[in-house]
Structure 1
């Protein structure tokens, strides 16, 4: 099952330590914004008298990865869904496909890339908790093996009948996610989608693609990739010629902003 996060909305005090820790860990520029952007990968919003986190849910079968024609997104064995900006050709299919509407684009950059939570993949691989979980003073966000988090969530719900909605959000939504949430308020009132299918949307993507002749799919991806890669290289050259100092990343992903 890999690793994951459990967020308990009844414990969150809205301090924003998780968002600040995320910014520091991923070297994201600017202040913490109220909504998710390419530069703010997790944020805390007040809904129905509770504080709720917004971040990538890290689907077990990520639709974003299934639609990416160049493999810029993938699910790691440890649990995080990671993103490789060097592979990305800027098609933004991931943004359109995500059932949780998470990935965001750097609209303000000459050569933009996508920004989203990567669940501190480097830390997780090294056996460390995510920065957000380590920073949470109320243990509203905890990190661990997914099966242990499921057990913990069920235990909290069972031990306090009526204190929680009898459902673990992320257990079945979109085929299951590595980020789980529990709350005493219906999840749709917290701004979370409650009408998601139990089957991974990615399965439908693969079913459609499997019915397309291989040579058509390969050539479509190839030609589209050539177009985007060429356009992006021309843009890089133009920016360089103009002496524009904006780097390609400016959002972390473990690399310095080339300015």
Structure 2
């Protein structure tokens, strides 16, 4: 049969058949009457190639699988002469490894596609409800939306946006500890006003003593909102190494101020130790 016929019979294209020839996957048949004459053996091999491709097996792996026919059946291995039995079993093991690797690759891809699907579903839901589409949680986004709208001047609004950008970056990089949700409260006029007052201050203009006072005030605000039981649970669940990694990221950006970042890190780590119930 001609190339167009074998392509149609196996559900592929003439171009693909020729591509397999170029890779050495499919033997080139002899000619008859000036055109290549494919036989049933070519059809069977091409069918197997297409079958393995549809299973997600790479062409390189397919080459190894097809070049080791002894590995396709246990009976053939068991019936092989003693001199060739070890070689046949080795070939079978190689095919098993290749197919196991192909399966692992497909499973990894499936996991990634599942993750993307879940992300898109979450983003779609947020878009439908009018929430900001962002790597940060809806609660965090709502907090920054609220403060931006309530900011009394452009300088304060700019500071809120920078903090938002930093939070976005940390969430995108996966470096925002889940416990940080406690820092972003639901609508609370008093808390929002206090937050805006802090954003209105330029840390670069504060003295070291004022930096210390501001850092302690931020920890105290959290302690005032949560019960001792909540603080203990928070301290027990938080990964202090993750907290340190977050502050290293903040330091790398240079915002809002290195002194404030370092002082906040120290105060929060000290507070976490203090919140943990004594043994």
Quick check: TM above 0.5? no
Going by fraction, where is strand more abundant, 1 or 2? 1
TM-score, length basis structure 1: 0.22
TM-score, length basis structure 2: 0.21
Higher relative contact order (CA 8 A, sep 6+): 1
Q: Could you say which structure has the larger radius of gyration?
A: 2
